[in-house]
Amino acid sequence: MESALSDLHLVVPKREHCVFKGWYADDKYSFQVTDESGAVIISQKQFLYDCGRSLYAKWESENTNVINVLMVYVTKYETDVKNWFNYVEHISYSMTKTERQICEILTKKVGEWLNDLGVATFNVESYFLKDPLLPDEIISQGGSDRYVSMDASNISELQGKLDDYQSVLLSASLKDKDINYYDFISSEYFTLTHRDGHVGAKYAFRFLDAVWEPLTRINKPLTDLLDESDKRWDDILSYYIRDYINTVQLRYNHNDFDDVFNAYTSDNAPTPNLSALEICRLFMLDQSYVDGKKKGLPYEVWSGETLKLNYKSSAGGYTSLVESGTYFTFSEEADVLSKDAKCFPDILMYAFVGDDAAEVQAVPMPGYEFVMWSDGVETAIRHDLNVRHNITVYAIFREKQ
């Protein structure tokens, strides 16, 4: 009779904002070893012979917020653009079956990586364009700074389809022969300048040429990437995770990731020898530091929680917005101040993490003067930037002597 291990319990790890769902024998979470309490649920024989030297903790986010990400792939186009030498060059592309399969794997891997963070549920979807791109949907910059780029918000087929997504990552290939475009001096084919990376808040663009490049430069077939265990997938995935991070941080008016990445790849890195994906993970979990200061994306970014910014007043004055028409929802409980009023109702604004608050001013009543805000700010007009926590402050006034 096979021995059971029902009395054996493994340690239950903890991760902030996550729920532990058991230990698994593989990183695909297909072979469960323990339940949520750490109790082993397999036989002794399975434990000894079917489990490797490592076990993998499975996590689920305690956050119920769902973040939608759309990965758009250009499948066909044909147009003329100006090349490096300012000559008109005809470019065309039609996605192959193998390329489409690789893109489907890419979307799957991006979703798996993001969900493994445990900060939220990421719904990552693919959209393969059905129509060829129109000439005016391909951005071709002339002059001395010539480049080709694309923007999902400028593609007619996508109009009305992007509203439900917090981030949209667009990919396309130029197929312009200059695959090894880093070594253009020795390449007779270097004609078009690729401009990829982030386009702005919500939108990013990446050339698939950079995805294929690790293979094509050594004359390896693209079919190698159909093997999801191929080690080159980590490099490919890092391109897209970095693009995704940029769409998020720009939406919250942050621009810290480049500083973090440079710090962790320098000779004086806080934690040396981290891969690009490991640096991305630290930043997205708000665990990265630059010069001893934390720089990352706080949990509120993923939880979807809004921040409350409450500006109150003590007796002898009131608080007011410096100018109306902000991006925030705000409420003032009264529009006028009666002659005998000693204070004004609160100004309450709602903002997302990383937003800049509207300017607020403390206004003294006749016979009073402004002293300071309760958190030590000494100027009557205050402009809280890059807010990351709830704010409740009082404007303090006193009678004039």
d(CA 396, CA 333): 20
3-class DSSP assignment, residue 358:
coil
- pLDDT given at position 279: 96
| pLDDT band with cut points at 50, 70 and 90 for residue 8 | confident
Q: What is the pLDDT of residues 245-280, one digit of tens each?
A: 998 887 765 678 999 999 999 998 989 999 999 999
d(CA 32, CA 38): 11
- pLDDT given at position 252: 64
| pLDDT band with cut points at 50, 70 and 90 for residue 344 | very low
Could you tell me what percent of the chain has a pLDDT over 70? Answer: 80
* Alpha-helical runs (H) found in 36-166: 44-49, 97-116
| pLDDT band with cut points at 50, 70 and 90 for residue 328 | very low
User: Mean of the pLDDT values across residues 342-348?
Assistant: 58
Q: What is the DSSP letter of 357?
A: P
> What is the enclosing helix (H) or strand (E) of 199?
none
Query: Is the CB of residue 281 less than 8 Å from the CB of residue 274?
Result: no
Q: Which of 123-137, 289-303, 314-328 has the highest mean pLDDT?
A: 123-137
Q: Is the pLDDT of residue 356 over 60?
A: yes
- pLDDT given at position 183: 40
Query: Is the CB of residue 356 less than 8 Å from the CB of residue 253?
Result: yes
Between these two residues, 59 and 211, which has the higher pLDDT value? 59
Q: What is the pLDDT of residues 155-214, one digit of tens each?
A: 999 999 998 999 999 998 876 544 444 443 333 344 455 555 556 678 898 888 777 776
What is the chain's mean pLDDT, rounded?
Answer: 80
- pLDDT given at position 222: 85
| pLDDT band with cut points at 50, 70 and 90 for residue 298 | confident
Q: What is the pLDDT of residues 78-118, one digit of tens each?
A: 888 766 666 777 778 899 999 999 999 999 999 999 998 98
Q: Which of 48-62, 253-267, 322-336 has the highest mean pLDDT?
A: 253-267
Could you tell me what percent of the chain has a pLDDT over 90? Answer: 34
d(CA 27, CA 60): 14
Nearest to 192 by CA among 203, 182, 181: 181
Nearest to 120 by CA among 59, 181, 76: 59
Between these two residues, 53 and 257, which has the higher pLDDT value? 257
User: Mean of the pLDDT values across residues 140-149?
Assistant: 58
